[in-house]
Amino acid sequence: MSGTRSGQSRRQAVERARLAGLVRAAIAVVAVSLLVDAIGGHIAHRSPASEASGSRGASAATAPPVTLVPLASTPGVAPVITRVETTDPVVFLTIDDGHARSPEVRAALEELGVPVSLFLLDGPVQADAEFFRRLPGAVVESHTRTHADLTTLPEDAQRAEICGNADTLEGAFGRRPVLFRPPYGAYNEATTRAAAECGMTAIVLWEASVSGTDVGFRTTPQLRPGDIVLMHFRPSFVTELRLLADRARDAGLRFALLEDYLVPDSVEESGG
- Pinpoint the alpha helices (H) of 70-154: 103-112, 122-133
Please, what's the largest Cα pairwise distance for the chain?
A: 118
d(CA 99, CA 146) in angstroms, rounded, equals: 12
Residues in the chain: 272
CATH no. of 66-260: 3.20.20.370
pTM of the model: 0.72
The pLDDT, as a whole number, for residue 27 is 44
Strand, helix or coil for residue 118: strand
∠ CA 17-21-26, nearest 5°, is 150
- Distances in Å between the Cα of 246 and the Cα atoms of 105, 146, 242 are 17, 33, 6
The pLDDT, as a whole number, for residue 236 is 94
The pLDDT, as a whole number, for residue 47 is 30
- Domain chopping of the chain, boundaries: 66-260
The pLDDT, as a whole number, for residue 250 is 96
The pLDDT, as a whole number, for residue 4 is 47
Q: Which residues of the chain have pLDDT under 50?
A: 2-7, 14, 19, 22-23, 25-66, 265-272
∠ CA 169-203-97, nearest 5°, is 45
pLDDT in tens, 143-153: 999 999 999 99
